[in-house]
Structure 1
Amino acid sequence: MILEIRIKRPQSQIIFNLNQIVLNFSSSASNNNRYPRTPRAFFSMLTFTSETCRKLKDWILKELIEKDPDIAAELTDFVLEIVKDLSSINDKTDGSHEAQELAKLQLKGIIKNPQKLLSQLPLKLGLLETQEKNLSPTSSVKVLNIPIRNLSTDQIRAQFQLFGSIKTCKASVQKRQAIIQYHNESCAIRCTKSTTVFFNNRFVKVELFHGNIEEFDGITLIASHQSAKKPDTTISKQVSPSPEENNLNKRIEQVQNVQQTIFENIQKSNETFKTDFSELLNSKEKLLHAHQSLLKELLRKTTEISSDEENTSLGPLLLEFKQLQKSMDELSITPKEMTEIKIRKLNMDHPNELEVKDARAAASKKKRAKKAALVRKKMRRKR
């Protein structure tokens, strides 16, 4: 049975009563063995920074029932203490479930929807942790879209040692990426802010890397103990290769060069298409705004018509409206068509975030799956 009591008292007295209620409930629940009190050792207490606490408080403040600023501020601190004890909410152990149930009862009457707040808490904490991690200083950079022929110790040193002494470097041939760790953060920042076209290829991108370089799956080009000297080994070179291996390496290098050329051509065509598509969208939006202005003017004229002039004046206005409608259809700037264009633009700018279903592609995929099933069925019959 839930009993809600609203009393107008000083804020400190209200918080004291709330704490007393929670403590009484916890002790009685422990006696009844219905919600046994979980040992404090079970919780892995979160270490919140002041900025994280501030953002959590802003989030909790929106979920409070009480809107009085002074009372809400103290209630927010009370809820934050409960939240700090629930860092293991996602665990499916019995202790975690009991802790969640106890937290729901503690938040009842304070938070609008305790279940929603507790379910969103892990996601919110993960988001805040990621934001703090991205804002923290780092001495490492990630290099993307590196041409395979440039994935060598000499090339990496020639391009990136200009910004500072390189401590370690790992590279992945499959991903065509490299992680470079400098001796201090300022070198990494200078590298990302530089306007240099790395490897004479404008598709090579450099960004700060906040992860652990040891967890990056790749080959070590420069180890920490080799940073002072300059080795002459590369990924593709081997120690004292035989003539057959030399020929094989040449063939591999030729194939890699062809793949790199194809990739660069595809990237260039994609960039050109994106630019043209953006210009098309901008021109259509300008045309749409012009037609919207004409429609607003038409609406104004329609509302100003008196009842006496209705029969004579509506005819020309209706004709003007039909002309505007026909013009929008011809220019493909109707609401439906503009929505489709904007969805395509959004999917182009942020791939894999928005799924755009193509009916024709889905039908052809279904047809191929059906044909493959028939082939497998015939093969089983032959066996």
Structure 2
Amino acid sequence: MLRRYHCSIGSSALGGVYYINSSEKDHYDQNEPFFSDRELTVIADDSAAASIESNLNKNTSKIAVQEDLTVDPEHDEIIVIDGTWISASDNSSLLDELTNLLLSGKPIIIIPDEAGVLYTLLADTGKSLGFMIYDESSQIFGFEYIPESGDVYCYSGIGYSTQMNALPDAYLWAEFALQGVYSELSEREETSYIDSKTTVLDHYGSVRTDIVYTDLNESREPSRDGYITGYEIRYFVEMMPNSYEGYRSADVKIFSVNRPALNPDILLFNYFPTSGECTAPMLPQNSLIGQKTKSMPTIDHSDLGDDRFEIIFDIDEKDVMGAYNTSILAGETVNLKSGIYYPDTQINITFCHMNYGLLNFEKYGAYKTFELKPTGYIGFVSEN
């Protein structure tokens, strides 16, 4: 069944947005950063906590600092853990306490340490839950496990100049997790795993991705052809060009890399590209008043016959959708030879730059494509 989804072209950006098209010039002022005033507990020493607080004071005023892992299970709070404090602590029961905290149902923001203690713990916890999708190059991680459903939400912040600069976007992820935004993305009752990333791509802008993996057959019963019903995978991609500096979104390509020749254990049996106008549930860090919605052409090279998944979204960089944040949605459903799924889909993001030539005509150039590749696996891999 081919599903039809729609995409919203929202008017939001990382900085103030200037959209200029011919003689039309509009200026959209930047709003304040996302402020929800959520209770937040920082687990760190005083020096690290001061830096964390200063980078989140425009998101919340309710920040408590402590040097132990005791939290109130009844509070819908966000936890921030400083890895340096963990590495310096001499507490034999600390890792067990941290594991219990990760499994508590609270969204937890993790600032990695040079010793890698927190990253190792996060990886081990992911293995025990059958979900290991996040990027080791991240300056910051987010993790939330939902005990009632078994859902797992992960976040990676990549490409920031410092770890502290990554904090506001990580806070936004945690706030949306508490608001139930991610629990609504799969639209199914089955267990889902969500890999969320915000990636800063040089001076061109940023990309926010939410990839939803919904387990369609936890019993792992094989079908007649030997494949096991696997996962529905939905790709939400939000382009956030640095419009203030003249950068624009140009194209998004979502495609399978290794199928079928190098990955015969995965069988594509359904895909659903975006079509027409729509609202995808992508929520920006800064939200501006007013919405402009336009459809975008899609070039569909997907082929169920040879298990190829490839969709190109042609964003018009010369129009409003190239300057504003643009959200797109695509997806596929795969069957597997085993219960383990290794993501093999890549997202290519193309930005460009607009400046003025003779007679004030717009000129577009400096096109650059960035490759975003999911890493990890879903399922339970034997240690042997």
Normalization by structure 1: what TM-score?
0.20
Highest RCO, 1 vs 2 (Cα 8 Å, sep ≥ 6)? 2
Normalization by structure 2: what TM-score?
0.20
Question: Which structure has greater strand proportion?
Answer: 2
Question: Which one has the largest radius of gyration?
Answer: 1
Question: Which structure has greater helix proportion?
Answer: 1
